[in-house]
Amino acid sequence: GALVYQYPRRTICKSGTSMRMECQAVGFQATSVAWYRQSPQKTFELIALSTVNSAIKYEQNFTQEKFPISHPNLSFSSMTVLNAYLEDRGLYLCGARMGGQDTQYFGPGTRLLVL
């Protein structure tokens, strides 16, 4: 079956530092990977959509300078949160999808705490 792994599952970083999170698709080819953030008391905000062999599209309020993403192959994507501050805390989810399919499979998320 289709599985998506994310690591780390939970991380704590000091304010102003950066942390990298990873997303791996197993059992299918993730032609597109969407990164979301679920902040406390909020729904899921789309950060960016990464499609292999295409430019990464960032949503309003999210930039490549703050959330650089790498999607080097059909099974792996990573995103870094640069200069993390309190407002960056939350659960970061990656949703991976195979080209031509409608279902997005989610990883367990990386929970970021910022001190």
Three-class secondary structure of residue 87 per DSSP: helix
Encoded one letter per residue, x for contact with another protein by CB under 8 A and - for no contact, window 36-75 reads x-----xxx-x--x-x------------------------
**Distance in angstroms (rounded) separating the CA atoms of residues 50 and 79:** 10
**Structure tokens of 13?**
């970083």
> Among residues 19, 23, 79, 93, which is the contact residue for another protein, using CB under 8 A?
93
Return the number of other C-beta atoms located less than 10 Å from residue 82's C-beta. Answer: 16
Residues that bind another protein (CB under 8 A): 32-34, 36, 42-44, 46, 49, 51, 91, 93, 95, 97, 100-109
